[in-house]
Amino acid sequence: MANLHERTGATLFLVSARDSVNDTLAPAFGDAGNTSAFFLEHLDMTANEFIRKFQSWCDARRDDSKSKGSLLRVLQLECRCLISEGLNRILKRKNIVMAYENYESQIMVRHKVQLRAWPAGLKFTSPHNLHTIAEVQRLRDALVSGACTWVMLSADEHTAISEKVGEAPKKKRKPRKDKGTKKATAAAVPEPESDAARPRKRARKSAIASQIPPGPRSASVVPSSDESEGGEVDIVPS
């Protein structure tokens, strides 16, 4: 195709799909002239999504796909591909795996996106866990029409779901205005003595004083022999 494009200027693409599960040919897409923009601008899907839809259409048209079991599997596969492709497209990634059991923590909190407007009355689970054609068909129609689609979460929505699952990001504390300066510590002030403690303190002082032996008396007050007999005391001037 590349040579044809160079020689003639033709813009073209080629899509191939398996006609049987036993075929060794894998679904493929080839183009010349950058036709991938056509799928995004006019079909609102990537070339890979188009290949999967084409393969699903081929599977559904096969004779052995007319049974309900085969049709159910085809619809389940298409829903799974639509959900996965939409997730990777909004995140501009190629290797994000959809998590249904831990959807809130692994998808909403981690990647800040949500699959919004899931069909009412349907359990939010993998399409392979929906066991009736009617249920899977409802989900498939909602995904194809865009009624159920991936959207980015707002800051408030992301904070709310983060708090709900207990993984809210820790907020940074506002620095103090006096950061880097030493705080002035007040000098220790003794507590005032209570009235009940004062008598005990005086009693301790009296007990201590009673244990101290008396010192020698001054010669000026030593009694004479006459004093011991009841006479007057002669005071000697110092």
In this predicted model, what pLDDT tens digit does every residue of 60-100 receive, in sequence order? 766 554 555 678 888 999 999 999 999 999 998 878 889 99
103 and 161 together in one domain: yes
Same structural domain for residues 102 and 52?
no
Q: What is the pLDDT of residue 238?
A: 47
Q: Which residues contact 120 (CB under 8 A, 6 or more apart)?
A: none
- 165 in the same domain as 97: yes
Q: Which residue has the higher pLDDT, 215 or 86?
A: 86
Evaluate whether residue 160 is within a structural domain: yes
| Whether residues 55 and 114 fall in one domain | no
| Residues 103, 59 share a domain | no
Domain holding 53, by residue range, is: 1-66
What element of type H or E holds 215? Answer: none
223 lies in a domain? no
Q: Is residue 22 part of a domain?
A: yes
Domain count, the chain: 2
The reply to whether 102 and 45 lie within a common domain is no
Contacts of 219 (CB under 8 A, 6+ apart): 236
Q: Could you identify the residue written with the tokens 């079991």?
A: 69
Output the pTM of the full model. 0.47
Q: What is the pLDDT of residue 32?
A: 77
The token duo for 62 is 């096969």
Instruction: Judge whether 226 lies within some domain.
Output: no
User: Is there a domain that residue 208 lies in?
Assistant: no
97 in the same domain as 160 = yes
- Greater pLDDT, 197 or 40: 40
Nearest to 108 by CA among 162, 169, 156, 166: 162
